[in-house]
Copies of this chain bind each other. A is one copy, B any other.
Amino acid sequence: MATTPRNSGVAPEQPNTAESSRVAFLFDLDGTLVDSVYQHVLAWREALEKAGIELSVWRIHRRIGMSGGLFVNALLRETGHPINPEEAARLQQLHAEAYRRLAPLVRPLPGARELLASLTEARVPWAIATSGRLATAAPALDTLGIPPGVPVVTRDQVDHAKPDPDLFVAAAERLNVPIETSIVVGDSVWDLLAARRAHALGVGLLSGGYGQDELERTGAYRVYDDPADLLRHIDEVGVRFPFGH
């Protein structure tokens, strides 16, 4: 499409289905499709306490979704407590254990399954890109009913997690779509910063607990409550569903 010259003779009244079919969705997982952010927050709180590190819970919340390496650096700044690689690995393990106990309470967010099924039905490509590791993300992914062939990119598969753009770039590559016409949907400022760095369109959801203003200031083109709200307003992000949908 990029090679099509301007004024190529396509009547402007005719819906440009080639254009619209080029839209693709790259979804964050925690707080965007599944309601797991607060469980992750308290699991980190427990892991840090066990490691003798005191950090207010809201400061942990504000860092959920960023890469583990950056999280450790942020911890160092907030607490003045240097963390060596062994301690970082132990923290990750303590978090995974604590999260496993809370994970049975994790559910898909309202409308998440319907949104994904509607995109699949309308042949709009979509993928999932999460800063989490596959082992931690697997139970949440299971609740979503993801069809075979949908790319799921986890922390294990890229060099740098969010807010680096690697996860979303890899997801677009797996879909074989240009990242520049992809829509990144996320609940945190880290998703939206990664979207900007990837030159994708960022859309924010409030379902991770961030405020609307924070998401807008980080570059969200639109902010919706949750996947159900995004599905109701899907036209606003340029998606044409088949008639009657």
Interface residues of A (CB under 8 A from B): 31, 35, 37-39, 41-42, 45-46, 49, 54, 56-58, 61, 102, 105, 107, 109-110, 206-214, 226
Once the chains bind, are A58 and B206 in contact (CB under 8 Å)? yes
- Chain B residues whose CB sits within 8 angstroms of the CB of A37 once the complex forms: 57-58
Q: How far is the CB of A211 from chain B (nearest CB, A)?
A: 3
Partner of A38, one of B31, B41, B207: B41
- Chain B residues whose CB sits within 8 angstroms of the CB of A39 once the complex forms: 42
Cα distance A38–B46 in the bound complex, in angstroms: 12
Q: A38-B42, A42-B42, A54-B110 are in contact. List 16 more A-B contacts (CB 8 A).
A: A35-B58, A37-B58, A38-B38, A38-B41, A38-B45, A38-B61, A42-B102, A54-B107, A56-B109, A56-B110, A58-B207, A58-B208, A211-B211, A211-B212, A211-B213, A213-B214
- Chain B residues whose CB sits within 8 angstroms of the CB of A57 once the complex forms: 35, 37-38, 209
Taken together, the copies of this chain in the complex come to 2
Closest chain B residue, CB of each to CB of A58: B209
- Chain B residues whose CB sits within 8 angstroms of the CB of A38 once the complex forms: 38, 41-42, 45, 57-58, 61
Once the chains bind, are A56 and B42 in contact (CB under 8 Å)? no
14 pairs from A and B in contact (CB 8 Å cutoff) = A31-B58, A35-B56, A37-B57, A37-B58, A38-B38, A38-B42, A39-B42, A42-B42, A45-B105, A58-B207, A58-B208, A61-B209, A209-B209, A211-B212
